[in-house]
Amino acid sequence: MKLITAIVKPFKLDDVKDALKAVGVAGVTVTEVRGFGRQGGHTETYRGAEYKIDFVPKVELTVVVDDGTVDAVVEAIAGSASTGKIGDGKIWVTSVDRLVRIRTGEEGADAL
């Protein structure tokens, strides 16, 4: 089993959700985050005083999937979240050691 984590632009969340459903992903967890990458921040003025906006609002998604579906899911996220403009985000894949469904106690692939 693998954990797929993606940072995407907030307004792309609905598109990504639809794409995940289309490849058969049953559940996803979403967090509101802030961050920056190589794009850097920019400067604004408030009442005449300058301030730097380094962190940009983003959305972080995590899904746990079967090893076999990792590639399809990564492609689905990348395709639906892309705008071609700076700040599109990143996706990374890590291993999951153990998975449990809380309601039933099922484990492993049965818990996906």
Partner 1 sequence: MRKRALRLTLGAVAGLGAIALFPTIANAQEPDPVTVLGQQVNLLWVVIGAVLVIFMQAGFALVETGFCRAKHAAHVVSTNFAIFGLGFIGFFFIGFPLAFGGFSTSLIGLDSPVGEPLLGSGNWVFLFQGGWALSTGTITPALLGLFLYMVAFMDTVATIPTGSMAERWKWGSFVIWGLFCGALYYPLFAAWTWGGGWLAKTWDTMNLGAGYTDFAGSGVVHAVGGAAALAGALVLGARIGKFDADGTPKAIPGHHIPMALLGTFILLFGWFGFNAASTFAATDVQFATVATNTAIAGAFGAIIAMLWITHRTGKPDPGMMANGMLAGLVAITAPCAFVAPWAAAVIGCIAGVLVIESVFFVERKLKVDDPVGAISVHGVCGSFGVLAVGIFSNGSYGAAWNGSTSEGVEGIIKGDWGQLGAQALGLAVIWTVIFGLAFGFFKLQDKISKSMGKGGIRSSEEDEIAGLDIPEMGVAAYPEFVSR
Catalog residues that contact partner 1 under the rule CB under 8 A. 44-51
- Tokens standing for 48? 């005449």
Q: Which is nearer to partner 1, 49 or 102 (CB)?
A: 49
Chain centroid to Cα 13, Å, comes to: 9
Q: Which is nearer to partner 1, 31 or 39 (CB)?
A: 31
DSSP state of 107: B
Give least dist CB 55 to partner 1, A: 11
- 3-state class (DSSP) for residue 64: strand
The answer to whether the CB of 41 falls within 8 A of the CB of 48 is: no
Q: Which is nearer to partner 1, 32 or 106 (CB)?
A: 32
Give least dist CB 44 to partner 1, A: 8
